[in-house]
Amino acid sequence: RQAVDAVKKYTVATQAEYTAPAVTTNLLPVEFATGSSELSTEAKKLIRQNFAALARGFNNRIRVEGNTDNVGGYSLNRDLSLRRAQSAKNYLVSFLKCDPNRILVVGNGPDKPVSDNSTDDGRQRNRRTEFELIASQQ
Residues 38-44: what's their mean pLDDT? 92
pLDDT tens readout for residues 96-137: 999 999 999 999 999 999 999 999 999 999 998 899 888 765
Residue 12's contacts (CB-CB under 8 Å, 6 or more residues apart) are: 101
Distance CA 106, CA 64 (A): 6
Kindly report the pTM of this predicted structure: 0.84
Nearest Cα residue to 37 out of 66, 13, 60, 63: 66
Q: Give me the mean pLDDT over the 54-65 stretch.
A: 89
User: What are the residues facing 62 on neighbouring strands?
Assistant: 103, 133
Cα–Cα dist 126/76, whole Å: 15
Higher pLDDT, 34 or 47: 47
Mean pLDDT of 16-42: 83
The CA radius of gyration of the chain, in Å to the nearest whole number, is 15
Average model confidence (pLDDT) for the chain?
A: 87
- Angstrom distance (rounded) from CA 22 to CA 84: 20
State which H helix or E strand residue 42 sits in.
helix 41-47
